[in-house]
Structure 1
């Protein structure tokens, strides 16, 4: 599936890896999001490796899928990482886990201001 657009898929995967790196460096402080993004990035890099280094050449190589379950599409470990990381990010969002827990807490100066306002009331 998608064999004729392998160069497009490879470029899209490279853009995803770049986006994950930028987001992870700038916004992520949660170990859970770090694991999820690591799974996505590791899976994407695994598939990129196949697409860049396998025959017939760079940006045209095929990803090797070798795991086959009954009534399920054929997949590989990299696919498991991408899907597992994506599911983890959705679950973290549904459970309200912040990507940067320190950013969601009030700053110490805000807490002190609220405490002094309560005393004067």
Structure 2
């Protein structure tokens, strides 16, 4: 029996237009849920932790400590908040444009986390004090070495997933590069 023109001949093929929609949907769901989680936890941190002592969850390992970060990771680049905002906007636009070509679950999750992390911290930079595009990011998860937030966790997992998929030779369109 012959399949309709353009239809897959194998039931496991996930490279058609429907597959793209599935992966774009996964990307959007991961991004949206992670962004909502980031923003809700930051609102809770401002309300419950600001002006209070740290709350130790796991002694010497994990605490909740309120901090406003005017820079990037570990407070570096505090004078470059505007630049960090512009970078986050450019990254977000690039990720959204790339998402239309998704045909791999790992890339969909990784790029969804990347978008959520970039937009989560960008929201702080745009809408929080001291002024738009120079706002300080709300950090509250204290790992003993540094203090971060859900957006930072998303960015870290995104980096791991993207590096892993790239290292394995898997493209965003699901194609696999053969090592030479």
TM-score normalised by length of structure 1: 0.77
Whose strand fraction is larger, Structure 1's or Structure 2's? 2
**Which of the pair has more CA radius of gyration?**
1
- RMSD of aligned C-alpha atoms? 1.4
Structure richer in helix, relative to its length: 1
Aligned position for 2:129: 55
Choose the corresponding residue for 1:15, options 90, 99, 113.
Answer: 90
User: Could you list the per-position Cα deviations for residues 54-104 of structure 1 after superposition, in whole angstroms to 9, with x for gaps in the alignment?
Assistant: 01111010001111112x211111011011101101111222323213x66
Say if 2:106 is the partner of 1:32: yes
Q: SS of the residue aligned with 2:90?
A: helix
> For residues 166 and 130 of structure 2, what CA distance do their matches in structure 1 show?
41
| Structure 1 unaligned blocks of 5 or more | 105-121
Structure 1 distance, partners of 2:171, 2:91, is 21
Task: Map 1:88-107; keep pairs closer than 5 Å.
Answer: 88-101=161-174
Does residue 74 in structure 1 map to residue 74 in structure 2?
no
Hey, what's the Cα distance between the residues in 2 that align with 1:4 and 1:94?
Answer: 34
Q: Deviations over 1:15-35 (max 9, x none)?
A: 00001111111x321121011
Aligned length: 101
